[in-house]
Amino acid sequence: MALARKPYWERPDSEWLIRRWPDLTASLVATFFFWLSLTPSLVPRPWYYQGAVGGITAAIGYGIGALLSWLYRLLSPWQPSERARARCWLAYLVALPFAVAFMLGRSADMQRELRRLQELPPTLTWHSLMIALISLAVLALLLLVARAIRLGTRTLTRLLNRFVPWPVAVALGLVLSTTFVVIGTRDVVWDRGVLEIADRIAAAKDHSTDPGVVRPYSPLLSGSPDSLIAWDDLGNKGRTFTGTALSGEEISDFTGRPALDPIRAYVGRAAYDDFADGAELAVRELERTGAFDRAVLAVTGTTGTGWVDPTPVEALEYMHGGDTAVVTMQYSYLPSWASFMVDRDEAGEATKALFDAVYARWQQEPAGHRPKLLVLGESLSVSAVESAFDDLDDMLARTDGALLIGPPDFSPIHSELTERRDPDSPIWRPVYEDGEHVRFAQFPDRDLRLPEGAPWLEPRVVYLQNASDPVVWWSPDLLFQRPEWLNEPLGPDVTSAVDWFPFVSFWQTTVDMAVSYGVTAPHGHRYGANPVAAWAAIAPPADWSDEDTERLSWLLEIRHPPQHGWAG
C-alpha cells in the first residue's frame, strides 16, 4: 500500500518553505507540549480557552522540536533511511488519535477534581473534539506565520546578496527580518491594533452610564448638584460608585439604629489635568462634604477602568453606621490588562498623589478628633496603593489600617513581605514577623487567628489572598522558573495534579487570569464577602460582634451576587 510505504508528502523542491510536510521530531515535541497544556492549573478552564492554550503551547513545542531536528541534521553523520522514516511516521499517525483521546479524557478528569476543590458543580462540558480542532487550527496558523517569516527572510537575504557578500547578507537579513517582526508586532498589531481598539471601546464605555444608575442629589456624593465634580466628568465607574451609594435608611434597616448617609468622593479622569490637580480637587470635595468630621476616612485605589469593588466599601459603611467617607481618583479608563501594559506607573503616581494630599489635610485636624485613616485596594489597585508608601513601616506610620485584596505579583510591599516571610510558612499563606501587624487570609475566620496565640498589634494590615488566584501568582518568571506556590504543601484549593513546565505554565496562568471570575469565593480572583471579616479585624466599631460579621457577610453576598466577566 502506497500510504503505508510513504505516509507523508515530499515537497518537490527544497525551496518550498511554506508548502511542506511537518517535521516528525517537531510534531512529536508539539504533541508532548499539547499534552502538558491539558494538565490543570489554578482554576478550571472552559474548553475553548483550553483549545487556544493547547494550540499556542503546541506551536512552542513544534518550534523547539524543529530546532532540535535541524541541529541533528547539521551535526550528525547518520541520517535515518526513507524506510525508517516512513515507519516512524506511520506509527505516529496511527497512535496520535488514540493518544489525543486519552489525553483529553485524563484532562477532563483532572478538571473535575479541580472543580471539586473549588466548590463548583462536578458537571463539566469538555468538548474534546472542539479542543483538538481549535488547538490544531491555532497551531497551523502560528506555523504558517513562522514559515512566512522564514520565506521573507530568505527572500530578503538573497536580495541583499546582490550588493554584499553572502555572510553579510545573511546577518543583515536576520537583523532586518527580526526588526520588521518586532516593530510590526509591537507597533502595528499591538499598539495600533489591540490597544487602539481597546482604547476606543473603553472610551465609549467610560462615557456611558450603566442601567439602573441615576445621578445622586445628596450633597454628600460626588456628581450631585452640590459637587465640585460634574456628573459627566465621573466616568462610567465613577457614576456607578456614587449613583448606587447606600443611604442612611438602608444602613439603619440592617443595624436597627439611626445611621448617617455615607460620603463618597470620586474624581473622574475628565475632571483634572494632572494628578496633583486631581488630588487637590479630591481634598476640596472631602472638605465640602465634611469628610474630616466622620469616624472613618478611607482612601481607595481604582482598577484600570476606575472601578471600585462595592463590597468592601459597603462593608465599612454598614459597619460604622454610615459615619464614613471614602475617596478615590480615576487615573485611566482602560481595562486593567491594557492599563498594566500602557500606564502601569500612572496608577501608583495617581494614588500616591491622592493619599499624600489627603494625609496632609488629615494631619491638620486636632489629633484627638481625626477620623480613622484607612487604605483599601483590590487587584491592580493594590500595587497602586502600595506605591503610595515607601515600605510597610511607612504604611503603618501613616494609616490606621489597610485592606489589600488579591495583590498582583508585582505589588512592591507585598513582594517584600512574601520574600521575607517567617521560615516554614508557605508562600500562599505567609506569616510575617509572627503576624505582629500583617496577616494573610483566604478563610478569614481561621487564617486571621494565625499564628495561634501571637499578639496582633494596631494598626493592622490584612491581605486577602486566595491560593488559587492567578492574579496573585502571574509573572513573566513562569516562562523559565518554577514558582514557589507549587512547592509542598500546596494551597487548600490547588490540585496535586498541577505542575510547572517551561512556557506552558505561563500561558496556562495567563488564561487563568481571564477565567478567574468563573469560580466561587474564596477561590480564583473571587473574594466575596470576606472583606467584612477583614474590616472587623482592622477597624471594628466598639460594639461589633462575630454575629454581626456573619449577618453583614450574608447581606452583602445577596446584594452583590457573583457575576461573570472582568470587573476592572
* DSSP-assigned letters across all residues of 288-332: HHTGGGSSEEEEE---TTS---HHHHHHHHHHTTT-EEEEEE---
Please, what is the Cα angle at 211 between 314 and 340, to 5 degrees? 65
Identify any residues that bridge with 374 across adjacent strands, giving them in sequence order: 298
- Please count the structural domains in the chain: 2
Q: Please identify, among 126, 156, 177, the residue that sits at the C-terminal boundary of a domain.
A: 177
Whether residue 109 is found in the same domain as residue 254 = no
Whether residue 378 is found in the same domain as residue 258 = yes
Q: Tell me whether residue 462 is in a domain.
A: yes
Q: Tell me whether residue 286 is in a domain.
A: yes
pTM of model > 0.85: yes
Whether residue 168 is found in the same domain as residue 218 = no
How many angstroms separate the CA atoms of 319 and 255, rounded?
A: 8
pLDDT at residue 528, rounded to an integer = 94
pLDDT at residue 14, rounded to an integer = 62
First to last CA, the chain: 60
Whether residue 364 is found in the same domain as residue 461 = yes
pLDDT at residue 229, rounded to an integer = 97
pLDDT at residue 449, rounded to an integer = 93
pLDDT in tens, 413-445: 999 999 999 999 999 999 999 999 999 999 999
Whether residue 245 is found in the same domain as residue 296 = yes
Q: Tell me whether residue 336 is in a domain.
A: yes
pLDDT in tens, 300-355: 999 878 899 999 999 999 999 999 999 999 998 777 666 666 666 888 899 999 99
pLDDT at residue 292, rounded to an integer = 97
Helices 24-37, 504-515: axis angle to 10 degrees equals 40
Whether residue 216 is found in the same domain as residue 164 = no
Q: Tell me whether residue 8 is in a domain.
A: no
Q: What are phi and psi of 69, to 5 degrees?
A: -65, -40
How far is residue 530 from each of residues 249, 433, 534, 556, measured CA to CA in Å? 24, 23, 6, 10
Q: Please identify, among 132, 150, 177, the residue that sits at the C-terminal boundary of a domain.
A: 177
* 428 within 8 A of 469, measured Cβ to Cβ: no
Whether residue 149 is found in the same domain as residue 238 = no
Please tell me what DSSP assigns to residue 9.
Answer: -
Whether residue 156 is found in the same domain as residue 261 = no
Q: Tell me whether residue 444 is in a domain.
A: yes
How many angstroms separate the CA atoms of 489 and 15, rounded?
A: 54
Q: Tell me whether residue 503 is in a domain.
A: no
Print the domain residue range for 376: 212-472+525-559
Number of CB atoms found within 10 A of residue 30's CB: 26
pLDDT in tens, 468-481: 999 999 999 999 99
* 516 within 8 A of 43, measured Cβ to Cβ: yes
Whether residue 231 is found in the same domain as residue 163 = no
Q: Please identify, among 129, 154, 177, the residue that sits at the C-terminal boundary of a domain.
A: 177
How many angstroms separate the CA atoms of 446 and 35, rounded?
A: 38
**Three cell numbers, residue 424:** 516554614
* 341 within 8 A of 505, measured Cβ to Cβ: no
Q: Tell me whether residue 1 is in a domain.
A: no
| Burial class (CB within 10 angstroms; exposed 0-12, middle 13-18, buried 19+) of 431 | buried
pLDDT at residue 185, rounded to an integer = 73
pLDDT in tens, 492-532: 999 999 999 998 899 899 989 888 888 889 999 999 999 99
With CA atoms as reference, report the closest residue to 302 among 394, 383, 214, 189. Answer: 383
Whether residue 131 is found in the same domain as residue 228 = no
CA-CA-CA-CA torsion sign (157, 160, 166, 169)? negative
pLDDT at residue 163, rounded to an integer = 84
With CA atoms as reference, report the closest residue to 242 among 308, 331, 176. Answer: 308
Q: What are phi and psi of 273, to 5 degrees?
A: -95, -50
| Burial class (CB within 10 angstroms; exposed 0-12, middle 13-18, buried 19+) of 438 | buried
* 57 within 8 A of 511, measured Cβ to Cβ: no
Please, what is the Cα angle at 183 between 180 and 188, to 5 degrees? 115
Region for 424 from its dihedrals, namely left if φ exceeds 0, alpha if ψ lies in -120 to 50, beta otherwise: left
With residues binned 3-state (H G I as helix, E B as strand, rest as coil), the percentages for the chain, rounded to 5, are 55, 5, 40
Whether residue 136 is found in the same domain as residue 60 = yes
Q: Which residues have a Cβ under 8 Å from the Cβ of 497 and sit 6 or more positions away?
A: 39, 40, 110, 113, 114
Whether residue 136 is found in the same domain as residue 245 = no
Region for 235 from its dihedrals, namely left if φ exceeds 0, alpha if ψ lies in -120 to 50, beta otherwise: left
Residues of the chain with pLDDT under 50: 566-567
Q: Tell me whether residue 480 is in a domain.
A: no
